Amino acid sequence: MNISELPFYSVQGEGISSGVPSIFIRFTGCNLDCGKEGGTWKCDTRNIWANKIDYTNQQLIHNINEWGQFFNVVDGTTHLVWTGGEPLLQNNRKSFFDFMTYLHNNNTNIGINVYNEVETNGTIYIEDFAEKRQIYSLISQINCSPKLENSGIPYNKRIDNGALQQIVSHPNYWFKFVVSDEKEIHEINESYVNIHKIDTARVILMPACDNRNDLAETTRKTIEISKKCGYRMCTRVHILAWDKKPGV
């Protein structure tokens, strides 16, 4: 697999699984580049996911063992978080599938109940039905972070209706929107929630912030937006704890 930084053990810092012990595998490459040509915020991992490290299935197992988390991973206590970049790009999702196949084939004497979280931008439509079924059967939770106008990404590049419908078909999907202003709720509703009949209980708002100095203020602002619109919100735990430090 091609990853952009060495896998690391931490806790999930965003979304519905905030605080859950997790091992993060960050794939290289993304089909979007938020904030590069405008917008009110910039991707805070671009300088990481642009890197490329060749990594084998054996190395990932060794990494998990070094953290002392192998049995916690296989029983689902510690989550595997597949992130990026964009983990559902074709080569990345093949690597994900190959790793899970490798894990099952080499541990036939124990039960494998891995909890896989996949973090996607919601623009990757998997055309092959059989492949989509295989991949989705291995994903325990989809954390979809669709991009709004505040990302600076053109509408026709950041919205793929077919991909969004596939995500909504998964039994455990979550939509997480980065917000900086109350007016963006209208965009969330009109471009995503209403069209795709997204369960409003599965929508999460998150502050548009990439540094600790601004996090308290932007979190308070997101709380007020959440109170008005009725969507749940989350902050960014990893930024609160480590600011911009990667790999933690």
Note the pLDDT tens digit of each residue in 86-95: 999 999 999 9
Q: Retrieve residue 206's tokens.
A: 């998150």
**pLDDT of the residue at 35:** 55
Please compute the mean of the pLDDT values over residues 43-71 and round it to a whole number. 87
Tell me which residue of 138, 132, 124, 146 sits closest to 198, measured CA to CA.
Answer: 146
The residue segments making up the domain with residue 134 are: 2-242
Is 137 part of a structural domain of the chain? yes
**pLDDT of the residue at 116:** 98
Has residue 48 got a pLDDT over 80?
no
pLDDT in tens, 111-151: 999 999 999 999 999 999 999 999 999 999 999 999 988 88
Is 235 part of a structural domain of the chain? yes
* Gyration radius (Cα) of the chain, Å: 18
- State how many domains the chain has: 1
Comparing 41-55, 155-169, 197-211, 229-243, which segment has the lowest mean pLDDT? 41-55
Residue 152's pLDDT band, with cuts at 50, 70 and 90, is confident
Structural contact between residues 232 and 202, judged by C-beta atoms closer than 8 angstroms: no
Is 170 part of a structural domain of the chain? yes
Is 248 part of a structural domain of the chain? no
- pTM here is 0.93
Is 247 part of a structural domain of the chain? no
**What CATH number does the domain containing 81 carry?**
3.20.20.70
Report d(CA 151, CA 36) in Å as an integer: 9
Tell me which residue of 237, 247, 248 sits closest to 47, measured CA to CA.
Answer: 247
Burial class (CB in 10 A: 0-12, 13-18, 19+), 132: middle
Residue 42's pLDDT band, with cuts at 50, 70 and 90, is low
When the pLDDT of each residue in the chain is averaged and rounded to a whole number, the result is 93
Is 20 part of a structural domain of the chain? yes
Compute φ and ψ for 96, nearest 5 degrees.
-60, -50
Q: How far is CA 32 from the centre of its chain?
A: 14
